Structure 1
Amino acid sequence: MTRVGRPPSRVLVMRLVDWDGEDAAAFEPVLEALDRLTPYVEVLEPGCAAVPLRAGAGDEAVFCERLIDTVAGLVDQDCLTGVADGLLAAVLAARDGRIVPAGGDATFLAGCDITDLQVTGLVDPETCETLRHLGIDTLGKFRELPPQAVAERFGAPVRRAQLLAAGRFSRPLVPRPAAPELAVTETPETPYETVEHAVFAARPLAERLLRVLDERNLACTRITVTARTGSGLERRRTWQIDPAITAADLARRVRWQLEGWLAAGPLTSAVDGQPGGDEAANAVTSLELAPGGLVGLVEAGRGLWGTKTAAAVKAEAALRHAQSLFGPEAVRIAGPADGRDLDERYASAAWEVEPAPPPPSGPWPGGLPDPLPQLTGTGQDVEVLDAAGAPVAVSARGDLSATPALVALGGKRIRIAAWAGPWPVTERWWSAGARRYARLQVELTDGSFALLAREDGRWKAVGWYD
């Protein structure tokens, strides 16, 4: 059973005002300036980049001003910023330097010109002109078109653009890779035949990396550990770290990672002194540490929005300790996602290893309405009965065979005080993965509220409301 939360996230887009070039290398100094402020930067195109912002972390306007001042001070370039819940709204907001209020993407996008669809890369100018001739001159009018008609007339890409225009589709940002010249690699003459041998090299490798960063007046907030074997196997994992980490602590983090890999599946064939298979092929031939989320040394002791509280530092230390014991993916952040069914409405991402999943910007047709059940994943078999104790079924048209009166659960029969539904759902009817089910909400006389679903002739309690 899983209790789910809804930590929202936001997107900031930065666009250079006078940028007229396509040279990605010329844009690199600007990206280095952004790296001083945030560990994740996605390059949308030369002259334009996006970074994720976690809602509630601080004043977005203050951060935008800080970013603009940083870029201007380091590379003498003026820029505009836009903030919104989704990437499309943030890109369009950056043209005017606007901050779209949380939950306001749909309203903001509704007034945008139909040609703004072209920034999605999914719609060509000819399609925009066709829509304008049809009287569809704004994104608000475009999103009101029947979805099936859009898909049939213009195809799947334009239908996807319609979801973007309605604020119903998003994606996580993809951070750019760290500068390769800052990565340090140890390639021994004799491959490491055990994890212990590889760990022995981690300390000098960590010292070399911190020395390279120190020479450039830099610190980092992420470290990617990569191990390669003679057989071509490569394991890679990115960890979030404190910018003030010491070489000893960094080497310890590398050891945790290598031991975690060893527990999941041997990096080498020599475990506990017991060789097996081709040792040369399985031995570690190189170990690499690559920094990410670069920050200046002046900024290294400060959080993204300012100084961290003692409670935040202790909490992060506890979470990192849990990662060291159970692996980097064991500590996860839940977040809302796009989908229709209850188990599709949420996703999770590893804490400080991957960006948290973005929230949906609008409801799916036929989706379960808010508020959602607070307790999910139970999947308990139940029976829905009428007043005479006979089973209640749902027809293909979504009609109940009788009025529901009782729910049989855990050997007990509990009377239904009120109910709503059913709501039939048919998914992927065109494919082998077709699915048909119906939802029913019930209030029981014991004071509990449940979401029931009937599929393949069986009722299940798929969620409980607090």
Structure 2
Amino acid sequence: MSGTVVSGTVVRVPSRTLVARLPDWDREDAAGFAPVLDALDLLTPYVEVLEPGLAAVPLRRGAGEEAAFCEALIDTVSGLVGQDCVTGVADGLFAAVLAADEGRIVPSGGDAAYLAGRDITDLRATGLVDPEICETLRHLGIDTLGAFAALPGAAVAERFGPAARRAQRLAAGQLARPLVPRPADPDLTVAETPETPFATIEQAVTAARPLAERLTALLDARNLTCTRLTVTARTAAGLTRRRTWQVDPTATAADLARRVRWQLEGWLLAARTAAGPEDEQGTGAVTALELAPGGLIGLVAAGKGLWEFKDAATARAEGALRHAQTLLGPEAVRIAAATDGRDLSERAGTAAWEAEAPPPAPSGPWPGALPDPPPALVGTDDPVDVLDATGAPVLALARGDLSATPAVVRTGGRRLRVVAWAGPWPVTERWWGAATRRYTRLQVELADGSAALLVCEGGRWKAAGWYD
């Protein structure tokens, strides 16, 4: 609460939340968002970044002044960075985020009434529930946030978990955390002051990774996690830059380091642009980097649990991988990731390890895809012969069946009896163009205990995969 004096009487003005949304902003362009934040800094001393293109500021003005401040903010952003901006104002952050979609000012004390009529899918804006939970609620007849808020809290927690229970309280207009910055516990603030200033983004980000790991280790030791991260950088020119980002309470050290990258990319780019090519002294180089957590909550409340730990071997392996990334770049170390597709080769992709989010997992059965579980070993494409009981080749016919019952599979000079088989499944891909592909799948269990996925294409059989 803050106060203003009117005729000798102190009038209390409640702290409200304003959210500014840039509807045309590319959410992947975090570095370019820095000039927008600089524009907001002209109007308010504190800005919290929710994500690129979305920021929140605390607002302490009378009801008649809120609309005027929103117009001033919109004009400032449009005039300085040439971007359309819409604003929303409410008591709490969740209601303000939704109000920003409509450019609406929710009356003071009216969050619950405003949220009650919103569609249940708006619950995803909390970041606490999956789309599947929203669909389940809709199937149960819970179509609005108001109906969800009216459910017994204990039943919600038991059915969907503690995160959904917190989302329910948000839907009821509760848990309206303030945006007012508070000093972080000095014991939980980590900093790095290099002997030689970081002249490049990669150098600073390389240092940010172990810095973020130190921070998460400190928080884990106290069974805490944070919902905000304040990144502070000091440059050789004596300039101090500070920005606060909202982070998921289950964020890893890699997630925190990614926030640092986003911010440094914007700051260093702005510093170099301002300094020009004549800046040979590296006045935009970073001489100190500091991470401070905010919005501390317990691990159990955050849904992280108490039993997450890494053994020494895992820690050493991750350290070696990070060292490889430092030497070769963040894209050099990659992990397997599931993707969508019909063919086995299409269902396996890669993603940079702890650098970017992996490709999204398949949202549902891909039409014509091989049902799970997939073969454990793929990509062998071993040539095989499928024979019937007389030793004649078994052919996959155009009408979708086999010329005879498979009895023997010949591979690598061995003849293995077919114990059981399933299929065939004919597949036609890209039938609309010149690149049409037709093939037939067949699953077989062999006498030596192995099982294979066989594919016949162009009259030839091959083992596309082997089951464990």
Normalised by the shorter chain, which TM-score bucket?
Answer: 0.3 to 0.5
Q: Which has the larger radius of gyration?
A: 2
Structure number with the bigger relative contact order (C-alpha 8 A, sep ≥ 6) is: 1
* TM-score of the aligned structures, taking structure 2 as reference length: 0.45
* TM-score of the aligned structures, taking structure 1 as reference length: 0.45
